[in-house]
Amino acid sequence: MSSSLVPPKLMPIAPVVELLDRDHSILAFNERVLDWAYRKDVPLLERLRYLCIVSSNLDEFFEVRAEPHLAASQRKDEKGDFSVESFERLAEVAHTLVARQYALYNDDLMPALELHGIKIVSHGERDVLQRRWVKQYFEREVQPLLLPVGLDPSHPFPQVANKSLNFIVRLGGRDAFGRENEIAIVKVPRVLPRMIRMPDKVSGGSNFFVSLSSVIRGHLAGLFPGREVGQFSQFRLTRHSDLAVDEEDVKNLRTALRQGLQHRHFGEAVRLEVSAGCSIHLSDFLLRQFNLPQGALYRVPGPVNLVRLTQLIDLVHAPKLCFPTYRACYPTQLTPGVSFFERLKLGDVFIHQPFESFDGVLAFLREAVNDPQVLAIKQTIYRTGTDSELMDLLREAVRRGKEVTVVVELKARFDEEANINWAEMLDSIGAQVLYGVVGLKTHAKMMLITRREGKQLKRYAHLSTGNYNPRTARLYTDWSHLTADPALTTDVENVFVHLASHSRLPRLNRVLLAPFYLHLNLIEKINQMASVAASAGTGRIVAKMNALTDETLIHALIRAGQMGVKIDLVVRGACMLPAQLAGVTDNIHVRSVIGRFLEHSRVFYFCCNAVEELYLSSADWMNRNMMRRVELAWPVTDAVQRQRIIDEDLIAYLHDGVDAWDLLPDGTYARVRQDSRRAAHGAQAALMTRYAGQDDARGD
């Protein structure tokens, strides 16, 4: 297979294009998420939830992306992708984003919540009854778990775990041995709730809360009898947390990762958060302790961990301050009570989650587990959660004597421990547990059912753009594809055999597999569009994904656009392609849609002289997905279902006039302008309306 379908004379040398910075693009994505916390048309507690989501995203950004910038700044590097300058520019943007978060929290969200009787009561605001109750709570629930550590040569600075809550205290006077050791650390156990609701007897029936940090702050003096508590501050340290295991040099990957998890919480320090009022003396002490520059210090006027405010949201019962409950309908192509195996003999089924329920996928597996004619079940597991009905069904399948093979990705970031636990459980009861290919993450989402039907064995498959996680399936937009198509099911079987035996992969019928063919095929399809456009034909590309950072694919798109191909990209998060750059990328538009649900589906559309192709995929257009992961893309050949996907997941998003943002050439994003001549619509809201009431309409 050639690397290009375009003759060299049709491939002009594109002008040098400076791509956008990936890390700045990630922060720009979080600016768009934060916009939902500003929106007055969003219910108040949901606005607070979006604020928490941004904080959670920033935690992961620092845990994964900040370390090379920080390391370069400490080496005083002056050039390259990571340098002093890159660290300073990134720190400036991050500091601005954090400042906006806390300004919104203090000046808008908390005053608005207080008008609805929801308030976090500070120590200075508490009346006598409230202070008495907080004191009793502290003495009963908190103090027994605290162990202040005074620092001296025999008590060095304690290990501070990643993202844990701590206090640093400067003490006056002398300790019990007559020494003037002035610094003490109080580590706050993670088992304690960060938000505590006051009982009605002291809150007057309102939703009054106290933060754990405020409870401890109000009783610090009692932790150091005989000493004077002077300066103090809460602080939180973020550490680099990407696990690094040399798979080529370990005999048992599961054991190596289990050991690595023990050290994850104590990686290199990358960010220090302290209270806004923290003295320079204490903040400088902490920076020296963790070997961090000033740019890594974040002074915050409020809780050092806004993520924990989700506890408050969960403790408040105020339906009017939340999104109206959305009940996903049962998949419209399925009829409850009708056998999946009989239904799939009539044609493929597509489920658009979360507008249609993931329960359809669970019901498919449940029928396979309970059907005595089903002999084998094979499945990949990337993220499934710690409490999963799906995993319980696989366990039941083993108990019923079926051959169960599970490819568990142990290196799914921040889900390693859950996946190791599932792998050990399944292995212990007799399932065949595999860990994919050394050096590659298995990110493909596929399930294969083998069933005896008369004298034949027949296969049924489920392919998906998203994870086998019932919880996130209610929050993420994805496509599930159920099929009995022999061409597809044979491909899926061959991929499973390849993952298990590492044997040479046979030529596949329909599936494009990374790291072997997917990248090459996408480039060829893009180049084919360019060749057709250059020959006075028409080429059209529309692709929807979570991230676009693979430079080879980006440059192929730029060349295709320059040759006349019309390209629309719907990229939720990081995008390094500078769209609408005059004379360079005029034919390429990039937009991002941020909505109530997390956009997660990957859909790739190519139209060459009116001949359409559409692929669903587990892969984003990132180098890691193309080269360092096992990923799938597969075509949708049913014309009716292909048009359905085009309508619901491409056209709807290209015409979104509420939740969409357009990427500008300089890497900034502009909210779409609403057409005053007609009512604007949001793609997700329109899909919710389309699917609402489907169950009632068919009498389910």
What is the chain's length? 700
Return the active site residues.
443
Angle at 551 between CA 547 and CA 557, to 5 degrees: 85
Q: Give the integer Cα–Cα distance in Å for 624 and 246.
A: 17
Q: Give the integer Cα–Cα distance in Å for 170 and 183.
A: 5
Q: How far is CA 173 from CA 178, 231, 307, in A?
A: 9, 13, 37
Angle at 670 between CA 663 and CA 664, to 5 degrees: 30
Q: Give the integer Cα–Cα distance in Å for 338 and 158.
A: 61
Q: Give the integer Cα–Cα distance in Å for 652 and 75.
A: 48
User: Do 480 and 351 form a contact (C-beta atoms < 8 A)?
Assistant: yes
What the block records as the tokens of 54 is 């941004």
Q: Give the integer Cα–Cα distance in Å for 589 and 525.
A: 19
Q: Are strands 228-239 and 207-211 parallel, antiparallel or unpaired?
A: unpaired
Which strands sit side by side in the sheet containing 207-211, from one edge to the other? 118-120, 207-211, 195-197
Q: Give the integer Cα–Cα distance in Å for 617 and 222.
A: 58
DSSP secondary structure string, 582-627? TTTSTTEEEEEE--SSEE--EEEEEEETTEEEEEEES--BSHHHHH
DSSP secondary structure string, 421-448? HHHHHHHHTT-EEE---TT-EE--EEEE
The closest alpha carbon to 572, from 551, 603, 541, belongs to: 603
Cβ burial 546-575 (10 Å sphere, 16+ → b, else e): bbbbbeebbbbbbbbbbbbbbbbbbbbbbb
User: Do 483 and 617 form a contact (C-beta atoms < 8 A)?
Assistant: no
Q: Are strands 566-571 and 588-593 parallel, antiparallel or unpaired?
A: parallel
